[in-house]
Amino acid sequence: MEATTTRPGRWLWLTTVAIAGAGFALLVARPIHAQEAPRLKTESPYFFVKSDDPAVDQLPLKSTDVDVKVSGVIADVTVTQTYRNEGTRAIEARYVFPGSTRAAVNGLNVRLADRLITAQIREKQQARIDYDAARKEGKTAALLEQHLPNVFQMNVANILPGDEVKVELRYTELLVPQAGNYQFVFPTVVGPRYNSPQSAQKDAKWVAQPTLRAGVAPDTAFRMKLALDTPLVIKEIRSATHAIDIRKSSEDQHAEVVLARSAAPANDRDFVLDWRLAGEKIESGLMLYRGQGDNPENFFLAMVEPPKSVAASTVSPRDYIFVVDISGSMHGFPLDTAKVLLERLIGGLRPSDTFNVMLFSGSNRMLSPQSVPASRANIEQALATIKNYAGGGSTELIPALKRVYAEPKAENVSRTVVVVTDGYVTVEREAFELVRKNLSKANVFAFGIGSSVNRHLMEGLARAGMGEPFIITDPVQAPEQAARFRRMVESPVLTNVKASFGGLEVYDVEPQAMPDVLGERPVIVFGKWRGEAKGRVVIQGQDAEGPFRQELAIDGKTRQDAAALRSLWARHRIASLSDQESLEGGDAFKQRITDLGLRYGLLTQYTSFIAVDKVVRNPAPQAATSVDQPQPLPKGVGETALGQGAALGAEVPSTPEPETLGAIAVALSMLAMLRRRFRRHDARRFTA
């Protein structure tokens, strides 16, 4: 009798232990594709802790000054970083900083007291060798390297106590208007990257940047001034990211913009300036540059405004998969904004469309086993589920994309993948290759959300997926960007685009194949030309109303002094080769990219700028120490973004993955059910 009464209790006890053990295992483990070995401090961002050694200046970067001159659609930018050693030991300063994804970096100067040192472009490994040699010899030297198209590193060796070193970086950028709006973006901070073991960057030391704690303002002055010169009257100037002061000229074709005084830091988020010109049309046209010297090269740039978007009368049903990042760096403002965006995106689907939502962090899950019709009930259920999630965990983008491409779809249905993330990963190259190889299955649109988005990832995903990038730095922009997305996916504005040239001998034209035009971006064609500057550039295609054709005439009145075209053409060609390299893998295009960088004096992934002072200034260079200038956390990003690296290498606890929480909830529900059954069984036995 006693054995009979204790058997259910023993069975419940054993079941409880088993389920509890399974729940604990789920809590501390992750799915196989997302498992991570403990990482060293050198492999991931970590919180900055100032050294106790008063002899070493741990914060040598004192200020950054940005001087921008915009003429038409070309921006010339000079960035001056001022380093000062306020300690008593010689130091080497190392600073990882962001850059524009479209910048053609073409110059570097170092000012040391009354001396000006002009940097030279070198093959990357040779530049590193020359820099290390100068550092060991006690010479002051500066090395500028590109890790990614939007991530650079400055090393300045042998800064003596009391020294002030000014490093001037110069670049040129083409500003492509969109829907009549011109925009200049200056990134100020590199967000902390989740370094996946699958990444080609997994051993890159730049990823291990020191980061200030949340709420700690950067101890670095940041100043910016812009001068705008436009061919038409400036109608409006605004910045959604920073408070600015504006001074216009009497004719309203020139304006000067500076940052307004503020107690809040200005260099913890992208600076974005927007302006519009009078009239509805953009300033289409042709720019020429006639080269100088013994073997001159001549360059041209044609910019043609596309036709306006026309809503298609009949649009085929589409399947949408929204891939939403809910990792630790998305916690707070980015994920809250993503939810608002998804309400607009999913809520705007047509009843004939189907959709699904994937949530990913260290692991991933689909909200439905397969895509479901965009009915009001399904949309509301999806949005209600998404609202329950907060950011936590790592950012395994590649497994998420692979699962999306493995999802079956009907042959007659076109699929669009929409990626929503801040882009704080190091798997850019792997992601671009994956998207391009699966282009026949889906096109890709990328929404970057945050104050300092990884624009290289967002733009690269969209370029590889024949889509368009969208950047949202403020929640109020979500409805506008969602509406723009809807206009784009209804139908391309211009298809079968071709460029031809009458009477002008051209070669090395970029892009080599013209993509379909989405939205209201102009058609851009770069190239070189020989002989006389005469003839015409013809852009043809198909728009919603039939054949499209525009001509740009070339005659003696066309200016030929746009010297920036030389760097801009080379930068565009390098970007095209880099895209192809990402697609094919390896470094098959390394030599061609290197040759372009050396020939046109541009910073690339294979070329660097090196400046070396001829004077040996530090008699004991072996006693110098290296310091890494810390970055602030981007505005709106919490400390969960550094979930895998903290001060002194300690771990920062992160929120369990969604699947882990779900599994634990299921386990607890089963325990409760078993207890209720046992009590009912025990009550019946007692009554009997």
Read off the tokens for 253. Answer: 């074709």
pLDDT at 131 over 50: yes
Q: What is the pLDDT of residue 34?
A: 33
**Domain locations in the chain?**
2-30+666-687, 49-188+221-266+269-280+598-628, 291-310+493-560, 318-490
From the options 3.40.50.410, 3.40.50.300, 3.40.50.620, 3.30.300.30, give the CATH code of 318-490: 3.40.50.410
Give me the CATH code for the 49-188+221-266+269-280+598-628 domain, please. 2.60.40
**Mean per-residue pLDDT for 425-438?**
92
* Cα gap 472→338, rounded to integer Å: 9
Q: Residue 412: pLDDT above 60?
A: yes
Task: Please tell me the pTM assigned to this model.
Answer: 0.84
CA distance 190 to 630: 10
Contacts of 55 (CB under 8 A, 6+ apart): 87, 88, 89
Q: List Cβ neighbours of 103 (8 Å cut-off, separation of 6 or more).
A: 77, 171, 172, 173, 571
**What is the DSSP pairing of strand 372-373 with strand 354-360?**
antiparallel
- Interhelix angle 428-437/564-584, nearest 10 degrees: 70
Q: Report the alpha-carbon distance of residue 234 to residue 416 in Å, rounded.
A: 37
pLDDT tens for residues 187-240?
999 999 888 877 877 788 899 889 999 889 898 999 999 999 998 899 999 999
> What digits encode the pLDDT tens for the residues 512-537?
888 888 777 788 999 999 999 999 99
**36 pLDDT higher than 50:** no
- The 10s digit of each residue's pLDDT in 148-177 is 999 999 999 999 999 999 999 999 999 998
Burial pattern 455-487, b for ≥16 Cβ within 10 A else e, equals: bbbbbbbbbbbbbbbbbbbebebbeebbebbeb
Q: Is the CB of residue 536 less than 8 Å from the CB of residue 503?
A: yes
**Per-residue confidence (pLDDT) for residue 199, from 0 to 100:** 81
Q: Beta strands 221-229 and 254-259: pairing type?
A: antiparallel
The two structure tokens encoding residue 560: 């030929």
User: By CB neighbour count within 10 A (0-12 exposed, 13-18 middle, 19+ buried), where does 442 fall?
Assistant: buried
Please give the pLDDT value at position 109: 97
Give the residue among 123, 524, 453 at the shortest CA–CA distance from 301.
Answer: 524
pLDDT at position 643 is: 62
DSSP track, 74-129: EEEEEEEEEEE--SSS-EEEEEEEE--TT-EEEEEEEEETTEEEE-EEEEHHHHHH
Closest CA relative to residue 468, chosen from 302, 241, 276, 309: 309
* Residue of 78, 66, 164, 147 whose CA lies nearest to 113: 164
- Pull the structure tokens for residue 419: 């990626």
Q: Tell me which H or E stretch contains 672.
A: helix 658-687
What percent of the chain clears pLDDT 70, i.e. is strictly above it?
85
Please say if the pLDDT value at position 135 is more than 60.
Answer: yes
Name the helix (H) or strand (E) containing 12: helix 2-28
Lowest-confidence region among 268-282, 481-495, 650-664: 650-664
pLDDT attached to residue 309: 67
Note the Cα 150 to chain centre separation in Å: 7
**pLDDT at residue 579, as a whole number:** 87
Mean pLDDT of 502-510: 92
Pair 519, 488: CB distance under 8 Å:
yes
Element (H, E) at 524: strand 523-530
* Burial environment of residue 179 by CB neighbours within 10 A (0 to 12, 13 to 18, 19 or more): middle
Computed over every residue of the chain, the mean pLDDT equals 85
Name the strand (E) or helix (H) holding 529. Answer: strand 523-530
Strand partners, 524: 303
